[in-house]
Amino acid sequence: MAYKNIIVEIRGKVGLVTLNRPQALNALNEALVAELNEALSDFESTPEIGCTVIAGAEKAFAAGADVKEMAQKGYIESYLGKFLDGWTRIAETRKPVIAAVSGFCLGGGLELAMMCDIIIASETARFALPEITLGIMPGAGGTQRLPRFIGKAKAMDMILTGRMMDATEAERCGLVARVVAPERLLEESLAAAAKIASYSQPIVMMAKETVNRAQETALSEGTRFERRLFLSMFATDDQKEGMKAFIEKRKPSFRGR
């Protein structure tokens, strides 16, 4: 597929997608989301790729859903056309995805980042769910995911006032994993992704699936699921290799089996 709204690259074992609609601060239109889904699905089915990084531009990771595309939509048309259904595809990826966020990360842009597994932010990052200012509310998971990241008090504050949160506050309240200097954002995100991709792919995927379970189930059910997958790892060659290498004081050589 020839991409018009994103740039797709492969860096070693890492897939890199750069959102590329600078004229609209990377506002997410339907074409961009379709391309992003296509690229992610390619990475999912490429065995050599172990992790993906989604980046934006310096000024904006993404300034939200494309308001110009949405403005004239009607209810029935949106309902029948399953508007926003494709947006959650990213939350279903099995390999890890890192969002490298610089500048504005607003509305659907923040919802996209929250569907990734790790958010690494530049000191310039600004987060908001400003939908309320447009006479709507978040529609791509924001009302559900934000409270899970930062708790009800701050989520209500953000969603009902539409205010922006800077990178320091975002790290303090658990929205982002790391804050780095702007010039180090891509390098640090790619390095984290390369590290993840260097491990046993099936074990990484099982670890991701198990952490995500914590968001969706009761603690007792989540820990039971964790135990089942943990024990299953002892059927893999990579567990044998990882532990043997530790005992032999050498680097493991994982084969994804």
Residue 67 lies near ligand CAA (rule: CB under 6 A): yes
Q: Which of 43, 56, 107, 180 binds ligand CAA (CB under 6 A)?
A: 107
Residue 24 lies near ligand CAA (rule: CB under 6 A): yes
Beta pairing partners, 122: 180
Nearer to ligand CAA, 139 or 252 (CB): 139
Choices 44-52, 136-144, 190-198, 229-237 (CB under 6 A): range interacting with ligand CAA: 136-144
In the complex, what is the shortest distance from the CB of residue 25 to ligand CAA, in angstroms, rounded to a whole number?
4
Residue 64 lies near ligand CAA (rule: CB under 6 A): yes
Residue 65 lies near ligand CAA (rule: CB under 6 A): yes
- The count of residues interacting with ligand CAA (CB under 6 A) is 21
Question: What are the Cα distances from residue 214, in Å, to 148, 186, 218?
Answer: 11, 29, 7
Active site residue 131: yes
Tell which phi-psi region holds residue 99, choosing left (phi > 0), alpha (psi between -120 and 50) or beta. Answer: beta
Active site residue 111: yes
Bridging pattern class, strands 104-106 and 60-62: parallel
Residue 130 lies near ligand CAA (rule: CB under 6 A): yes
Residue 90 lies near ligand CAA (rule: CB under 6 A): no
27-46: contacts with ligand CAA (CB under 6 A): 27
197-236: contacts with ligand CAA (CB under 6 A): none
Nearer to ligand CAA, 4 or 94 (CB): 4
Write down the catalytic residue from 15, 113, 131, 193.
131
Q: Which of 140, 167, 179, 197 binds ligand CAA (CB under 6 A)?
A: 140
Q: Tell me how far apart the alpha carbons of residues 13 and 33 are, in angstroms, rounded to a whole number.
A: 23
Across 10-35, b (16+ Cβ under 10 Å) vs e yields eeebbbbbbbbbeebbbbbbbebbeb
Q: Which residues contact 3 (CB under 8 A, 6 or more apart)?
A: 35, 38, 39
Write down the catalytic residue from 15, 103, 107, 108.
108
Residue 96 lies near ligand CAA (rule: CB under 6 A): no
Beta pairing partners, 13: none
Task: Give me the DSSP letters along 193-251.
Answer: HHHHHHS-HHHHHHHHHHHHHHHHS-HHHHHHHHHHHHHHGGGSHHHHHHHHHHHTTS-
Q: Which of 68, 152, 227, 228 binds ligand CAA (CB under 6 A)?
A: 68
Question: What are the Cα distances from residue 97, in Å, to 5, 53, 66, 206?
Answer: 19, 6, 23, 14
- The set of catalytic residues is 65, 108, 111, 131
> Which residues are at the interface with ligand CAA (CB under 6 A)?
24-25, 27, 63-68, 104, 106-108, 111, 130-131, 134, 138-140, 142
